[in-house]
Amino acid sequence: MKIGVLVSGRGSNLQALIDSSRIKKMLAVVISNKPGVLALERAQKAGIPVEVLEANKGEKREAYDQRLASLLQRYQIELVVLAGFMRVLSPSFVSLFKNRIINIHPSLLPSFPGLEAQKQALEAGVSTSGCTVHFVDEGCDTGSVILQKEVPVKPDDTVETLSARILIEEHKLLPKVVDLLARNKVKVIGRKVEIEE
């Protein structure tokens, strides 16, 4: 399976994919919407082709996503992994790659979608948060959940300490889901996901 990873920044989740030798072989391209980010360095170091696709000034979301889709198709990408990719994808892009785009999010969805999920969890006063890998649909973090992992929230947590504790689990969860998808163990029935193991 040819995988394209979309990134915007640090790329620690990308690194977790690179660190799995089985998955690394499938990483066909890493695309960043921002130049000069650490994620690109990580990909280059691992010998994975990289592309920077910046949005042009005033460019409509659909136009950007069309360029993104063409780039992914040029690499014959079958699975798109959003690993800290901080752009919302348009419905036409999502339908082009239906059930072939996954995202990692630092909360137990449907709680705390969107930006600053860890801060939202702290402000809500929950005692448990976590991370979710889900299929991407037309909404913001609303697609079917594939797998989740719970993480405790401690009374003295800051955004930094909670984020770090969740990140450790993200780095296990994302490769696990990618491996399941690569082995065709994930079935989508309507909105529900079944894992065959």
User: Rule CB under 6 A: which residues touch ligand GAR?
Assistant: 9-13, 39, 83-84, 104-106, 117, 167, 170
Per annotation, catalytic residue among 105, 112, 153, 163: 105
Shortest distance (Å) from residue 192 CB to ligand GAR: 22
The residue number whose beta carbon is nearest to ligand GAR equals 84
Shortest distance (Å) from residue 74 CB to ligand GAR: 24
The answer to whether the Cα torsion of 184, 87, 97, 194 is positive or negative is positive
The answer to whether 105 is a known catalytic residue is: yes
Give the span between the Cα atoms of 79 and 81, in whole angstroms.
6
Shortest distance (Å) from residue 60 CB to ligand GAR: 21
Residue 30 Cα distances to 26, 72, 134, 163, 197, angstroms:
11, 10, 19, 24, 29
Q: Which is nearer to ligand GAR, 114 or 183 (CB)?
A: 114
Shortest distance (Å) from residue 103 CB to ligand GAR: 6
Give the span between the Cα atoms of 177 and 51, in whole angstroms.
24
Q: Which is nearer to ligand GAR, 13 or 33 (CB)?
A: 13
For the CA atoms of 118, 119, 125, 131, the dihedral, rounded to the nearest 10 degrees, stands at -10
Q: Which is nearer to ligand GAR, 123 or 194 (CB)?
A: 123
Active site residues: 105
